[in-house]
Amino acid sequence: MLILQNSSSDHYTTSTKSPSFSTPSAIRLQEQGKRKMMEKAEVENMGKKIICREKAEESEKIYRNKRLCNKKRKRRRKNRRNSQARKKDIELSMESTSSPNVDFTKLATRTPARSAKEIWALRRRSEERE
């Protein structure tokens, strides 16, 4: 809204017409105002972009952590299953070879393949003695 002074009297009238800037200084002021508004809008947009980028990075971190946790969990389960299978193999191999005069105490800490080889070697030795 623009306030104009009437030249014939001392009272003011209000006008809703947009001012027509004809002087170069007025045009410059108008352009500067537009530039400031544009800069302000750009700063706000940059702030929004930064916030969006931070949120995306946080969600990416959460996703990566979940993925890593799942990998670690799967690895632990796999290792646990393998160790349980090894224990069962050792127990089965020791139960299946119940030959007399054979000491199985050393075989409990070995892998199934080694324990099987040693069991066969112990059987041969015990057969040779008899």
Most confident of 1-10, 77-86, 100-109: 77-86
pLDDT of residue 37: 82
Angle value at C-alpha 45, between 39 and 47, nearest 5 degrees: 105
Q: Which residues contact 14 (CB under 8 A, 6 or more apart)?
A: 1, 2, 3, 4
Interatomic CA distance for residues 37 and 43, integer angstroms: 10
CB 47 within 8 A of CB 40: no
Interatomic CA distance for residues 24 and 74, integer angstroms: 74
- Structure confidence by residue, pLDDT tens digits, 86-113: 877 766 655 555 556 666 665 555 556 6
Beta bridge pairs of residue 4: 13
Interatomic CA distance for residues 34 and 30, integer angstroms: 6
Interatomic CA distance for residues 4 and 127, integer angstroms: 126
Give the pair of three-digit tokens for residue 39: 């800069």
SS3 content of the chain, % helix, strand, coil (to 5): 75, 5, 20
- Mean pLDDT (the chain) is 72
Confidence band for 1, pLDDT divided at 50, 70 and 90: very low
CB 102 within 8 A of CB 115: no
